[in-house]
Amino acid sequence: MAPRRRHGMIAGDGIAMRPFTESLPMALLQAREATMRRFRPLLTDHDLTEQQWRVLRALAAVDEPTAVGELADHTFLLAPSLSRILTNLEGRNLVERRAVAHDQRRATIALTATGRAVVRRIAPSSETVYNQIEAEYGAVRLRKLLADLHELAALDIGAQVGAIEGEAS
C-alpha cells in the first residue's frame, strides 16, 4: 500500500505542507458544513437562504432600524450582495427600507411585522438544534470553542497587512 499520510509535513510527493486534514480552513469549513446541515432544513422550509437568514437574524438581534452599511458589517456580506438580498426580502415583505431624515443618502432597514413573525417562528426550532449540539458536544466546551473562534477571527484585524510579500507573480 502506498503511504497515504506520513507523519510531519511531508506529503507523499515531498511537498512540504501540512496534511490536508490538518488545514485550518478545511477544518472550519467542515465544522461549519456539519453545523449548517442541521439548520438548513429550518431555513429551506421558509424559503430562506443562509445569507437571507443572516440578515433577518441580525435585524432581529438589534431590533432597530439598521443602516445598510452597518448591516453589511454584521452579516459579513458585501454591499452589492446585501443590496440584492434586501430587494428580495423587501419584495417578500419581510423587511422595509426607511429613509433617514437628516441624510438622504442613507437608508435604514427594519423587520416588518411579517419578518418578525418569521424569525419568531424559526427561533424555537433553531434553539432546539442548538441545544442538541450543546448536548452532544458539551455546553462548556461549546462556549469555550465559541470564545476561541472569536479570538481567532480577531487576530486577523490588522494582522494580514504586510503578511505576504514578494508574491508579485
Partner DNA sequence: TATTGTTATACTCTATAACTATA
Partner DNA sequence: TATAGTTATAGAGTATAACAATA
Binding residues for DNA, per CB under 7 A?
Answer: 40, 49-52, 67-69, 76-88, 97, 102-108
Minimum separation from the CB atom of position 40 to a second copy (A) = 8
Look up cell 480552513; give the residue: 25
Cell of 119: 424569525
**Which one among 19, 68, 90, 107 touches a second copy, defined by CB under 8 A?**
19
SS3 64: coil
Amino acid at 107: A
Answer yes or no: are the C-beta atoms of 91 and 83 closer than 8 Å.
no
**Which one among 48, 129, 140, 158 touches a second copy, defined by CB under 8 A?**
129
Answer yes or no: are the C-beta atoms of 94 and 109 closer than 8 Å.
no
From the list a second copy, DNA, none, partner contacted by residue 73 (C-beta under 5 to 8 A by kind): none
Answer yes or no: are the C-beta atoms of 134 and 143 closer than 8 Å.
no
From the list a second copy, DNA, none, partner contacted by residue 52 (C-beta under 5 to 8 A by kind): DNA
138 φψ region: left (φ > 0), alpha (ψ -120 to 50), beta (else): left
Pick between residue 80 and residue 104 the one whose CB is nearest to a second copy: 80
Stretch near a second copy under the rule CB under 8 A, chosen from 39-47, 86-94, 101-109: 39-47
Pick between residue 50 and residue 148 the one whose CB is nearest to DNA: 50
Pick between residue 14 and residue 104 the one whose CB is nearest to a second copy: 14
